[in-house]
Each structure stands twice: as structure tokens, then as C-alpha cells.
């Protein structure tokens, strides 16, 4: 017989309290004990998204948590995703698809109801099919100036009266005040839902902390359920801007230098995690107009607002620097929005991306892009189309070699003149197709693709980097590390570290109350 | 007697130090003779006053913002961590002794007396004092150990302004929780709140301000925006490991050993446009820099051991042989020599350690700590600094070691140790190898001297076959001034100064 389904929610006193990584750890801890576990986050604000098997778009943190729980990511795990487009504009993704009825609902004034029902439906389904749902909150639940319901925090907790653990980081001080203040600002009903406190990122003398723990328990009448150490040296994708720091490269005299152009509304910079984990390359985010001739590879990433960010590239002078670098023979790669920018023209009649209706691209690829109202979101499998060009560009691959990735875009790309596609899409959301993706220039040193996650393919990443290494006479061919295995190892290490510091059975019991 | 005001924060990175510096500059602009103050500081970055007293860098920066000479009363207690549970305690600018936390707090009565006296002295000499707190004032488990927050405010009879960082969320809870955990008396002392690091237009947070006032019963004096353009020394930790832009011509590496001290010495390279400055901890990160700097260290012997264990030592020696420029400052200078001995076990059990032997010097650690501002005359032994103008450089010494030069090793500088502006003693300092690419000195802040820094940069450019940049750069002092004025202008724009003055003077 199936156990009673448990739910457990983790909320934080601020956005960097450590909620997301803690939920990831719990997912792995419970799942490897054989408990059927799923993550859930009702409302996520992020520009880093992932596409599920069914072609639905969700926040990337839940994709990693799902993986920690040995599960495929599904849209129910993250039903509402909000993508900021700058100037107060947002795109709302409901159940994995852009909500086009939002204005209609706003007029009818029932849009809050739509959100509520979406969240309730998803959570209901997850509870039905699983033994344990670990829910992640967002920011602080005590932002008393908010005018709309706090969907991500107490609204979600209330649906099934899920017990809430409040986590706070002690690293910078003021942890006690934040926990006490948060509880104080919650309504009595919400306060009652909080069943325990967690102190995160602790380092130092536990004896000095002991009186604080006792005080907290006496004063708040809540149990301090864990004191977690500062977790360091973990190599896991992060969703927030912390991951924009330079990577831990090893600065040998011979190393590859990769520039990622930091567009104002850059999205899916999680694409570069797998590159950052390589030890002989230095990956830097470039946002000011700089000379790029020193780099071995320049990547233009995806963006939420392609036309606006392309305008930024031109005005900042970076567009000219990129072209100059390409003329000097430096490889340029465009991913998604970056791919579109490499073409000749970008046309946005409906204003999907912003106010600019038409803008010229960098002209490095012979393609045009039109933006549509419809968003394409699929997991895809691709094969190489232009074998000869591909060999010149990167390396010889078998025509049977399959790469995986996912598409998230609102533009459709036309191939001009003789231009042919670089990849053939053979499967989209698990359905057999025969479609085009990507393009390469004549000189064979600039290409683009809609595929997010392209660099996570070990063979592709290896071959690309070896090509660059050869150009720098960096010696023998190297086989790249195994990205998927590395992530798995890190998830286990994380789970081990957390499990040592918390009473898992107690949490399980609490979740089933 | 001077009036005073104290800036406390809801967490250690709420922005207290910077806002205190901003307020210092605003007050001096408005005609008040102002002094900064922080009763107790924990930092490995220190400065030497005119009298030869050692104080924290943060108060030195605030004093500069207030356009007054930094003095020991502004930072009467300095704790320099030397191990996980041990600090060198500096009282009134002089070494007291190495202490564990428990032993330190057992001296509370003595410490309070020192704080009281420092405040009393400052109050006689200034119109206004700007006090800075530390961390969060409501850490109830440390209440009986408090010397830096409410205890200092009480002694100074200062009203308190609480700064809360809104950047990461939870600002309401941190304010309400902090006030809730204070005692009634302490809570009364808090007269106003500043919300700091707001992204976007602070006016958009109006309803939030009203709610904070409602729940806290305290006036919100303003909402400060997130300031990105600042370039001021950071007191306690490195914010980044790499500074500078992509178009650098010169790559400078500072070896960041665990006990690295006075890394603010190298701030002056951060604003130079041809330079990338990197702090490096691992051998594999070293790369192929144009200049390697071994900075000061609070624990020279164990940091030298770190160089050997990390294999950085071998790399540095190898680079020296390849004619890379190597500079040692203070503890780093000692490490470049043949030997460091510690006969009195000042740093630990180990009495002798071999140095990198790039300079023919040896050092004996001694308990006497030299802390003096110095005027420096170059003896023209550095190839790049012949100093035709006979300029006098300035800097300061902080060390507990005496360095002896081999007979054929020539000194670099003549140091004129100053006390209260008068020459106290002249000593020789520094050494350079025959080839001229490895040298060291005890002088902190030597790179603050514009002519010296520029000569060094030009030397590195020439060595690389690069042309010199003839465009004039702003001096270190001008850059600092620009930053203080910018800070003050932002403070005036967003903070209700009239109410703040009322809080200060009606207290």
C-alpha cells in the first residue's frame, strides 16, 4: 500500500538563504531511500528555463531538483514561470506555455483565479502520483508591501497545510533577527504552518551558537531542526546571477579563452555551465565595449528580448568588435537569440520582443528571422546535416551521431540564397520530424543554432574545444569530462553533506502529518 | 561636546561602512568638523597614523571622507585574526597580546574604558562623531559580549540609524526582527531607518516605506539606490578575485595566502586602465603574469609554508629566473629572503624556515612591532625609478621583524620614520637582486605614490615592448575624492537630511 502522501515546504528569510539547493538535497536524500519524491515550485521568476519532454517550459532549478529525485521534469513541478523583459514588462508562462489570455483575464479581473487554479491543479496531481512533494518558496514570505497574493509562499503552503521549514543564512549576521522578524510579520495562521527553523551556511564555533539556538526555540516556540554547514566546492548549475562569476579555471600558460556576451536580458546562461566546468578554459562574461581579439571563441547567448539586446550590441560598439574578431578568424557561436542576431534581418511585426519592428542583424549568417506570436518549446534530437562543413568547422562526426538539446524561441528563421541548415532535427518532443536548425557561414568560423544545452553533449563540447586547442597548439586531443556523471556525483555529495546534519525521519514524519 | 550619530546594520553587508563615509563627507560639506569612529574592528587591513598607531583601514577611509587626519581614537580596538580562534589584539594602536575570544571578552571592563576614553577625546576635538556598528545589533547570544553596537552607542549617547539591505529580499523581517530582539532601552535609541541597495527608482518603494514606519514605529530617512560605480577600499574581504577589464596590457598577480594582510595596498592598480589585478591562491591559477606581488602577512611563517605546500614557491622561483618582475611587501619581502627565524616563538612552534632565497637577506621576528609613517628617499637602485626629481615617497611600516642584508646586498630606500610629523629615526629598507627584477620593501601604500606607480607600470609596458600611454591618468587622491563626492551627492539626493540633522541635534 502506498504511504500517505507527504508534503514539506522550504521557505527562506531572503532570496539567498539557500532554499533551492536545500530542496535539491532533500530530493536526492529521500529519492535514494526509495521514496517517490518530486519537487514543486508554484511560481518562479527566472530567465533560465528548461523544456520538459512534452515541450513545456519551466524554471531550470526544478529541472535539477527533479533530476536529484531521479525523475523527469514535468510542467506540474513548476506551473507558473515569470520572465522579466525589462521596463516592468513580463512574460507569464502558465503550465509551460506563454499565457496569451493574460490581458483578457486582467480585463475580466479573474487572472488571480487562473493562477490559483493552475497551482492547485498541479500540486494536486503531484500529490496523487507521489509519496513526497518537496515545495520550494521564493524570496521571503514576509514582504508585507506586496499587493497580490504570495503564490510562491504561503498561498501554496495553505493548499494542503504543508508544514513549512524556514531557512536563514547566518553567513552575514542578522540571522536571528530575520527568523524572528519573518515569524512576527506572518499572520497567526501562516505562522502556525511554520514547523521548524534551519540555520544555513554556518561556520565557526558551535558553542557560541548554542545559546542562540536555545533562545530561538524558547522565543519562537519553533524547533531548530538543522544547522547546515557552509556548502562549498559544489559544481551544480545555479539559476541566479551568482553563477556569472568567472569559472574555476586553471590558469596554465596555455588555456582557452571564451567570451560570452552578457546581453542585458540574457537568458539560459545555464547553457555555459558545462563549459565552465572544463579546467583549461577561462569563460568570461563581457558587457562593456572591449577588444575581443584575445579570445578563442565568442558566444552570443539567448535573450528574452532579442531586438532590444541587438540594438544594445550595436550601440555599445560590441557588434563591431564581434565582427572584427570574426574577420580575424575567431570563431563566433550564436545560441537561440544569439543565432538570430548573427543573421541579416530580424522582423518583429507583432512587437513580441519589444518596440523595435525591424532591425538589421550582424550579417554573419545568411538568414532572416521573423518573430511570431507562437513560442516554440521542444526537447529535440538532431543529426549533422552538412557533414563536410561540419568537419571543417569542428570535426568529423558520424552522420549517425545524435545531439540533444531544447528549443525555446518565438522566431522562425528563413534560409537565404544557398544557405543550408547545420543540423537536421529528427525528433521534437519525442515525435519524429524532419526540420532544419542552425547555419554556418562560408568561411566556416561562425555558426548558430536554436539548441540550448548543446554544450552539455560531451562529444560535441570535446570536439569543439579540441578544435580550438589545436588552433592554439595546445597539444594532444583531450577527451572532455562526462557532464552528466559530474552532475550526478555532485548531487550525491550534496545529499551526503546535508543528510549528516538533519534528522531525515523526523522530516518524513512531519511531511505526513 | 560633540554630538554624535551611529550607523548600525541588520547584517554585516548592509552597507554601514560606505554610508558612514557618505555621511562624513556630507557633514564636512555642511561645515561640521567630523570624526568617524568604530569601537572594535576585526580586520587584517590596517593603517598607521601620524603618531605611529595602528588602526583599521575603514576608519582611515571615513576620515579621508571627513577630510580629517586619521587618529587612533577613531579605531581604538583592532583585532587581527591569526588563527581560527586567536587574534592579535591592538589596543589604542599598540599590540596588547594574542588572545582567544573568551580571554578577550574577560577583559571587557578594560575594553570599555578604552572605548570611553577614545570617545571622550574625540568629542573634545570635533563637532560631530559618526559611529559605525558591526554586524547586527540583535545577536542575543552575543549580547553580553557587545562592544561595537549598542554598548558603544550608549557610551557615546548616540542616536542610532539602522541600515537594512533590500537587495536580496526580507527587508521588512530583518528590520522588525532586529528591533524586536533589542531591549526596550536599546530600541528607543534607534531613531531612524535607511533602506539600502534598492534596484530601480527608490520612489517606487513608497508603500514599503509606509509599512516599515507602521510596523517599526521608526522614521524611514530614505531609500538609497544600489551604487555600482564606487571605487573605495573594501575593509574585510575581497569582493572579487579578478579586477580590471579585458583590454589590459599588464597582468598583475597578488599571492593571496591565508594570512594575507593589507591587500588594500594594491587598490591603486584597480583603477589603472592597462592593468588586470588577480588574487591567486593556487599554483595552477598563476599563469604567466607580468608582475607577481607577495603581499603582507599576519602569519609569515605559516604563509611561507603555504607557498611551499601549494607549490606556488617553485613557480615564483621559476618566474623570477625567467625575468618576471617579483615584488615583496612587508611579510612578502621577508619571504623573498634566505631565512626567517622566530627564536621567541612569536608565530608558533617553528623557529626557522627557509625563504625563497631570491634576495640575500634574512629576517628575525621580534616582539617589538614597528608602526610608523615614513617619508622615503630612493637610493636609485631600482632600474625603473631613478627618481630624477628626488621626489619624496610616503607610506607606512607595520612589522615585527628585523631584516639583515648580506654584505653585498644594497638597500633600496632611506626611510625617515616620522612621529607626529617629526623625524624620529632614519633607517635603510628594501633590497633588490642583481638582475633587478626581484625586490622587496617594508613600505605599505608605496603604490599610492602616483609617480612610483606610474614608473613601475611604464617599466612593465616597456619590458613587454608596448608603447607608453601618454594620456594623463587621475591621481589616486583624485579618484578617491571623486568617489567621496559622488557618495555624498547620492546621500543628499535620497536621504531626508533635515530629519537626520534633527535626530542628531535634538538628541
Q: For residues B56 and B87, give the distance between their C-alpha atoms in angstroms, rounded to a whole number.
A: 14
Give the catalytic positions of A in this structure.
336, 452
- Sequence-ordered list of residues with C-beta below 8 angstroms from that of A475, at least 6 positions apart, any chain: A254, A469
Maximum CA pair distance of chain B? 74
Statement to judge: residues B273 and B413 lie in one domain: yes
In the prediction, which pLDDT does A232 show? Answer: 65
Half-sphere exposure (Cβ direction) of A352: Cα atoms closer than 13 Å: 23
Q: Which of B418, B348, B435 is nearest to B377 (CA)?
A: B418
Position B102 scores a pLDDT of 86
User: B24 — phi, psi (to 5°)?
Assistant: -55, -45
Q: Which residue of B has its CA nearest to A257?
A: B246
Q: How many CB atoms lie within 10 A of CB A366?
A: 19
Sign of torsion, CA B120 B123 B124 B126? positive
Name the residue of chain B whose CA is nearest to A169's CA.
Answer: B11
Q: Where are the domains of chain A?
A: 6-235, 246-481
Task: Give B33's contacts (C-beta < 8 A, 6+ positions apart).
Answer: B68, B125, B126, B127, B128
Label the pairing between strands B361-378 and B339-341: parallel
Indicate whether B216 and B258 sit together in one domain.
no
A174 within 8 A of B135, measured Cβ to Cβ: yes
A158 three-class SS: helix
The pLDDT, as a whole number, for residue B333 is: 97
Residues 447-476 of A with CB under 8 A from B: none
Q: At B367, which CATH number? A: 3.40.50.880
Rounded Cα gap, residues A263 and A321, in angstroms: 14
Is B21 inside any structural domain?
Answer: yes
- Is there a single domain that holds both residue B309 and residue B277? yes
Indicate the Cα dihedral angle A72, A60, A131, A230, nearest 10°: 130
pLDDT of residue A1: 43
Chain B touched by A140 (CB under 8 Å): yes
Confidence of residue B339 (pLDDT cuts 50, 70, 90): very high
pLDDT for residue B234: 63
B411 in the same domain as B343: yes
3-state secondary structure of B173: helix
User: Looking at the partner chain, which of B170, B242, B245 has a beta carbon nearest the beta carbon of A182?
Assistant: B170
- What is d(CA A228, CA A430) in angstroms, rounded to the nearest whole number? 41
Judge contact between A394 and A461, C-beta under 8 A.
Answer: no
Spatial distance between the Cα atoms of A355 and A349, rounded to a whole number of angstroms:
9
Q: How far is CA B192 from CA A49, B32, B187, B219, in A?
A: 41, 21, 11, 5
* C-alpha closest to that of B222 among B467, B67, B22: B22
**Residue that the C-alpha cell 574581504 belongs to:** B237
- Residues A497 and A226: their CA atoms lie apart, in Å, by 12
Split into its structural domains, chain B has a count of 2
In chain B, which residues have their Cβ closer than 8 Å to the Cβ of A18?
none
Residue A318: strand pairing partners: none
Q: How far is it, in rounded angstroms, from Cα B97 to Cα B88?
A: 6
Residue in chain B closest to A138 (alpha carbons) equals B169
Task: Show residues of chain A in contact with B246, CB under 8 Å.
Answer: 259, 284, 286, 290-292, 294
**Domain identity same for B131 and B191:** yes
Phi first, then psi: give them for residue A136, nearest 5 degrees. -105, 135
Q: Is the pLDDT of residue B504 over 70?
A: yes
Residues 6 or more apart whose Cβ sits within 8 Å of residue B31: none
User: Which residues in A lie closer than 8 A to residue B172 (C-beta atoms)?
Assistant: 140, 142-145, 181, 185
The answer to whether B365 and B346 have CB atoms below 8 angstroms apart is: yes
SS in 3 state form for B350-406? CCEEECCCCCCEEEEEEEEEEEEEEEEEECCCCCCCCCCCCCCEEEEEEEEEEEEEC
The angle that helices B57-65 and B476-494 make with each other, rounded to 10 degrees, is: 70
Residue whose C-alpha cell reads 584575445 in the numeric block? A294
Distance, CA of B387 to CA of B392 (rounded, Å) = 9
Instruction: Judge residue B428's burial from the number of C-beta atoms within 10 Å of its C-beta, 0-12 exposed, 13-18 middle, 19 or more buried.
Output: middle
How is residue B252 written as a grid cell?
Answer: 598583475
DSSP state, residue B15: S
| CA distance to B87, B95, B145, B352, per residue, from B340 (Å) | 22, 21, 37, 6
Alpha carbon distance, N-terminus to C-terminus of chain B: 13
* Shortest distance, CA A431 to any CA of chain B (angstroms): 42
On whether both B218 and B301 belong to a single domain, the answer is no
CATH 3.30.2310.20 fits A6-235, yes or no: no
Q: Which of B142, B168, B170 is the best substitution to test chain A (most A C-beta atoms within 10 A)?
A: B170
Contact B328, B440 (CB under 8 A): yes
Give the minimum alpha-carbon distance from B98 to chain A in angstroms, rounded to a whole number.
18
Decide whether A6-235 matches A246-481 in CATH topology.
yes
Q: Same domain for B403 and B372?
A: yes
Whether residues B189 and B304 share a domain: the answer is: no
Residue of A nearest to B83 (CA): A204
Q: Which three cell numbers stand for residue B10?
A: 541588520
pLDDT for residue A111:
82
Nearest to B331 by CA among B350, B353, B309: B353
Asked if the Cβ–Cβ distance from B12 to A173 is below 8 Å, we say yes
The CATH number of A246-481 is which of 3.40.630.40, 3.50.30.30, 3.30.720.200, 3.40.50.880? 3.40.50.880
Helix (H) or strand (E) holding B4: strand B3-9
CB atoms A15 and B246 under 8 Å: no
Cross-chain Cβ contact B284/A250 below 8 Å: yes
B493 in a structural domain: yes
Q: Roughly what angle, to the nearest 10 degrees, separates helices A19-31 and A504-511?
A: 90
Chain-centroid distance of CA A17 in Å reads: 18
CATH number at residue B184: 3.40.50.300
**How many A-B residue pairs are in contact by the CB < 8 A criterion?**
141
Would you say residue B243 lies in a domain?
no
- Cα separation, B23 vs A313, in Å, equals 38
Together in a domain, B91 and B117:
yes
Cell of B264: 588594500
Verify that B285 and B156 share a domain, yes or no: no
Q: Is B471 a domain residue?
A: no
* Bridge partner list, B9: B163
Is residue B295 located within the same domain as residue B429? Answer: yes
Question: What per-residue confidence (pLDDT) applies to A242?
Answer: 41
Chain A residues with CB-CB distance to B215 below 8 A: 144, 185
Residue B109 and residue B7 in one domain: yes
Tens digits of residue pLDDT in B462-482:
999 988 876 777 888 998 999
pLDDT at residue B179, rounded to an integer: 97
* SS3 assignment, position B67: coil
Q: Which residue ranges of chain A lie beneath pLDDT 50?
A: 1, 241-246
pLDDT in tens, B70-103: 999 999 999 998 887 889 999 999 999 999 988 9
- Residues of chain A with Cβ-Cβ distance to B228 below 8 Å are none
Residue % of chain B over a pLDDT of 70: 96
Q: Which residue has the cell 531538483?
A: A65
Lowest mean pLDDT among A9-23, A232-246, B108-122, B235-249: A232-246
Q: Grid coordinates representing A238? A: 545555479
Query: Helical H runs in B38-100?
Result: 57-65
Range of the domain at B212: 3-231+481-505
Grid coordinates representing A99 are: 499565457
Is residue B237 included in any domain, yes or no?
no
According to DSSP, the β-strands at B438-441 and B431-432 are antiparallel
Q: What local confidence, expressed as pLDDT, does residue A233 receive?
A: 60
Residues B362/B341, Cβ–Cβ less than 8 Å:
yes
CA distance to A173, B88, B111, B112, per residue, from B96 (Å): 28, 8, 11, 15
Q: Which of A142, A205, A294 sits opposite B85 (nearest CB)?
A: A205
Q: Evaluate whether B413 touches B428 at the Cβ level (below 8 Å).
A: yes
Quick check: B196 and B162 in contact, CB under 8 A?
A: no
Distance CA A63, CA A77 (A): 9
Amino acid at each position: 500500500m502506498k504511504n500517505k502522501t507527504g508534503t514539506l515546504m522550504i521557505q527562506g528569510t531572503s532570496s539567498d538563504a539557500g532554499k533551492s539547493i536545500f530542496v535539491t538535497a532533500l530530493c536526492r536524500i529521500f529519492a535514494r531511500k526509495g521514496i517517490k519524491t518530486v519537487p514543486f515550485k508554484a511560481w518562479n521568476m527566472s530567465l533560465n528555463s528548461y523544456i520538459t519532454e512534452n515541450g513545456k517550459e519551466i524554471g531550470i532549478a526544478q529541472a535539477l531538483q527533479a533530476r536529484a529525485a531521479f525523475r523527469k521534469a514535468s510542467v506540474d513541478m513548476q506551473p507558473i514561470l515569470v520572465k522579466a523583459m525589462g521596463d516592468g514588462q513580463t512574460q507569464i508562462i502558465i503550465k509551460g506555455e506563454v499565457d496569451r489570455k493574460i490581458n483578457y483575464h486582467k480585463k475580466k479581473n479573474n487572472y488571480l483565479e487562473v493562477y490559483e487554479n493552475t497551482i492547485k491543479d498541479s500540486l494536486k496531481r503531484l500529490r496523487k502520483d507521489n509519496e513526497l512533494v518537496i515545495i520550494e518558496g521564493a524570496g521571503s514570505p514576509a514582504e508585507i508591501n506586496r499587493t497580490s497574493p504570495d503564490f510562491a509562499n504561503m498561498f501554496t503552503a495553505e493548499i494542503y497545510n504543508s508544514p513549512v521549514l524556514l531557512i536563514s543564512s547566518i553567513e552575514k549576521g542578522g540571522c536571528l533577527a530575520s527568523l524572528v522578524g519573518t515569524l512576527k510579520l506572518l499572520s497567526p495562521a501562516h505562522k502556525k504552518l511554520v514547523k521548524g527553523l534551519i540555520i544555513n551556511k554556518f561556520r565557526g564555533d558551535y558553542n557560541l551558537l548554542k545559546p542562540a539556538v536555545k533562545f530561538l526555540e524558547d522565543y519562537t516556540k519553533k524547533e531548530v531542526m538543522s544547522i547546515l554547514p557552509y556548502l562549498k566546492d559544489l559544481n551544480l548549475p545555479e539559476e541566479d546571477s551568482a553563477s556569472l562569476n568567472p569559472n574555476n579555471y586553471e590558469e596554465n600558460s596555455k588555456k582557452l579563452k571564451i567570451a560570452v556576451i552578457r546581453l542585458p536580458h540574457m537568458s539560459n546562461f545555464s547553457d555555459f555551465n558545462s563549459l565552465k566546468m572544463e579546467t583549461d578554459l577561462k569563460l568570461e562574461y563581457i558587457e562593456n565595449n572591449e577588444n575581443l581579439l584575445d579570445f578563442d571563441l565568442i558566444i552570443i547567448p539567448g535573450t528574452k528580448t532579442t531586438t532590444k539586446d541587438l540594438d544594445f550590441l550595436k550601440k555599445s560598439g560590441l557588434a563591431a568588435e564581434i565582427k572584427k574578431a570574426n574577420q580575424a578568424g575567431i570563431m563566433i557561436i550564436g545560441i537561440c537569440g544569439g543565432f538570430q542576431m548573427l543573421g541579416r534581418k530580424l522582423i518583429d511585426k507583432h512587437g513580441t520582443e519589444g518596440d523595435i519592428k525591424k532591425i538589421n542583424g550582424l550579417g554573419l549568417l545568411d538568414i532572416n528571422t521573423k518573430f511570431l506570436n507562437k513560442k516554440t518549446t521542444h526537447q529535440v534530437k538532431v543529426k549533422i546535416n552538412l557533414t563536410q562543413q561540419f568537419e571543417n568547422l569542428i570535426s568529423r562526426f558520424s552522420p549517425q551521431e545524435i545531439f540533444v538539446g531544447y528549443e525555446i524561441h518565438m522566431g522562425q528563421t528563413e534560409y537565404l540564397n544557398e544557405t543550408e541548415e547545420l543540423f537536421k532535427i529528427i525528433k521534437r518532443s519525442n515525435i519524429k520530424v524532419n526540420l532544419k536548425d542552425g547555419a554556418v557561414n562560408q568561411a566556416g568560423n561562425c555558426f548558430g543554432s536554436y539548441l540550448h544545452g548543446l554544450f552539455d553533449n560531451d562529444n560535441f563540447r570535446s570536439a569543439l574545444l579540441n578544435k580550438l586547442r589545436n588552433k592554439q597548439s595546445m597539444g594532444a586531443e583531450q577527451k572532455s569530462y562526462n557532464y552528466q556523471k559530474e552532475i550526478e556525483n555532485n548531487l550525491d555529495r550534496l545529499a551526503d553533506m546535508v543528510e549528516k546534519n538533519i534528522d531525515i525521519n523526523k522530516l518524513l514524519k512531519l511531511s505526513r502529518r | 561636546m560633540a554630538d554624535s550619530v551611529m550607523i548600525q546594520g541588520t547584517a554585516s553587508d548592509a552597507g554601514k561602512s560606505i554610508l558612514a563615509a557618505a555621511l562624513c563627507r556630507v557633514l564636512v560639506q555642511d561645515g561640521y568638523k567630523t570624526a568617524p569612529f568604530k569601537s572594535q574592528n576585526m580586520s587584517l587591513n590596517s593603517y598607521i597614523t601620524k603618531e605611529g598607531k595602528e588602526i583599521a583601514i575603514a576608519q582611515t577611509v571615513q576620515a579621508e571622507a571627513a577630510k580629517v587626519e586619521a587618529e587612533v581614537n577613531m579605531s581604538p580596538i583592532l583585532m587581527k585574526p591569526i588563527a581560527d580562534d586567536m587574534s592579535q589584539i591592538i589596543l589604542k594602536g599598540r599590540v596588547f597580546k594574542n588572545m582567544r575570544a573568551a580571554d578577550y571578552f574577560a577583559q571587557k571592563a578594560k575594553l570599555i574604558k578604552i572605548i570611553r576614553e577614545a570617545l571622550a577625546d574625540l568629542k573634545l576635538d570635533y563637532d560631530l562623531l559618526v559611529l559605525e556598528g558591526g554586524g547586527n545589533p540583535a545577536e542575543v547570544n552575543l549580547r553580553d559580549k557587545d562592544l561595537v553596537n549598542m554598548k558603544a552607542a550608549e557610551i557615546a549617547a548616540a542616536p542610532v540609524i539602522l541600515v537594512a539591505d533590500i537587495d536580496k529580499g526580507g527587508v521588512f523581517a530583518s528590520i522588525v526582527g532586529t528591533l524586536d530582539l533589542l531591549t526596550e532601552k536599546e530600541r528607543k535609541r534607534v531613531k531612524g531607518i535607511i533602506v539600502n541597495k534598492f534596484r530601480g527608482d527608490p520612489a517606487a518603494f513608497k508603500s514599503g516605506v509606509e509599512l516599515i514606519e507602521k510596523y517599526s514605529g521608526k522614521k524611514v530617512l530614505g531609500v538609497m539606490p544600489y551604487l555600482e560605480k564606487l571605487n573605495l577600499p573594501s575593509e574585510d574581504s575581497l569582493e572579487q578575485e579578478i579586477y580590471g577589464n579585458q583590454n589590459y596590457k599588464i597582468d598583475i598577480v597578488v599571492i593571496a595566502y591565508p594570512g594575507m594582510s593589507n591587500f588594500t595596498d594594491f587598490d591603486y592598480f584597480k583603477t589603472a586602465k592597462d592593468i588586470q589585478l588577480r588574487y591567486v591562491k593556487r599554483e595552477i591559477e598563476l599563469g604567466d603574469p607580468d608582475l607577481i606581488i607577495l603581499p603582507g602577512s599576519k602569519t609569515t611563517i605559516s604563509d611561507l609554508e603555504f607557498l611551499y605546500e601549494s607549490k606556488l614557491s617553485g613557480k615564483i622561483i621559476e618566474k623570477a629566473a625567467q625575468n618576471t618582475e617579483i615584488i615583496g611587501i612587508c611579510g612578502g619581502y621577508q619571504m623573498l629572503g634566505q631565512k626567517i627565524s622566530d627564536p621567541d616563538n612569536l608565530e608558533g612552534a617553528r623557529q626557522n624556515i627557509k625563504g625563497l632565497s631570491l634576495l640575500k637577506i634574512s629576517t628575525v621576528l621580534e616582539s617589538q612591532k614597528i608602526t610608523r609613517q615614513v617619508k622615503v628617499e630612493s637610493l636609485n637602485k631600482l632600474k625603473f625609478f631613478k627618481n630624477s626629481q628626488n621626489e619624496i615617497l610616503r607610506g607606512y611600516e607595520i612589522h615585527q621583524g628585523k631584516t639583515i642584508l648580506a654584505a653585498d646586498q644594497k638597500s633600496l630606500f632611506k626611510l625617515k620614520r616620522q612621529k607626529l610629523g617629526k623625524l624620529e629615526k632614519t633607517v635603510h629598507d628594501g633590497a633588490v637582486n642583481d638582475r633587478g627584477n626581484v625586490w622587496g620593501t617594508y613600505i605599505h601604500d608605496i603604490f599610492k605614490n602616483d609617480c612610483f606607480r606610474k614608473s613601475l607600470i611604464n617599466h612593465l609596458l616597456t619590458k613587454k615592448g608596448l608603447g607608453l600611454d601618454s594620456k594623463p591618468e587621475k591621481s589616486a587622491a583624485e579618484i578617491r575624492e571623486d568617489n567621496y563626492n559622488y557618495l555624498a551627492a547620492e546621500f543628499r539626493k535620497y536621504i531626508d537630511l533635515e530629519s537626520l540633522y534633527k535626530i542628531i541635534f535634538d538628541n
